[in-house]
Amino acid sequence: MWKGYNFFINEEMPLQQIPVSQHLPDDQFVIDDVKLMDVPMLQHILKQLYDGRSPWSYTIFLLELSRKDNGRYLKISFEGVVVGFIGIRIERADAHITNIAITPTFQGRGLGTLLLKKAEEYARNNDCISLSLEVKRSNKGAIRLYQRLGFEIKGLKKEYYKEDLEDALDMIYWLGE
Ligand SMILES: CC(C)(COP(=O)(O)OP(=O)(O)OC[C@H]1O[C@@H](n2cnc3c(N)ncnc32)[C@H](O)[C@@H]1OP(=O)(O)O)[C@@H](O)C(=O)NCCC(=O)NCCS
């Protein structure tokens, strides 16, 4: 997960509104663009995952959702309830995954993989040559998942996370042909 901004922003920014809606084969899960009204739910998911505190403030979400040309946030819902999301930001030819989270009771069912595949599709459609992300060094489960999908460790960012100064692994997935 990207560590976030260190500054405050003007909250009056246009929202990214790129229509996409995908019904999955079993028709139980729906992937769609995140909207501003989803942010409290996304923060609720993050709180469940990070000891009751969302590492991303409302302001960070707002700024990220305002990226019109080079970013996309997708949510995955079950029976109308958001159970996870992923954020992607394009920087030159790289699509950077800024955040990915699946609510605890829905983990281990392939939803994270599905969102990562969507990110890959979005990256390819935007002529990116790589997908990248940062992950806490101790997050062994997520690292295993990323490696299974083709990510490799590119480097280490020392004391990257400001809340606990944990190191981040810098991971990259070369998309190729
Ligand atoms: C990492 C995360 C997004 C994966 O989503 P997911 O829907 O559980 O992933 P999938 O079901 O597609 O894949 C499961 C794989 O993820 C890994 N994994 C990571 N955390 C897991 C968890 N809590 N439960 C089950 N699998 C987990 C396992 O390696 C598993 O691999 P396996 O199938 O070989 O056993 C999700 O576990 C999560 O939200 N974790 C907390 C937030 C986080 O760490 N985000 C990543 C920040 S970089």
What confidence tens digit (pLDDT) does each residue in 125-140 have? 999 999 999 999 999 9
Does 146 participate in catalysis according to the annotation? yes
Indicate the top mutation candidate among 44, 50, 102, 143 to test ligand 1's pocket, ranked by most ligand atoms within 8 A of CB: 102
Instruction: Provide the pLDDT for residue 9.
Output: 37
Per-residue pLDDT, 140 = 97
Confidence of residue 163 (pLDDT cuts 50, 70, 90): confident
- Classify domain 21-128 by CATH architecture: 3-Layer(aba) Sandwich (3.40)
- Average pLDDT of the chain is 87
Share of the chain above pLDDT 90, in %: 74
Quick check: 19 pLDDT over 60?
no
**Six token digits for residue 128:** 């990116």
What is d(CA 2, CA 121) in angstroms, rounded to the nearest whole number?
A: 20
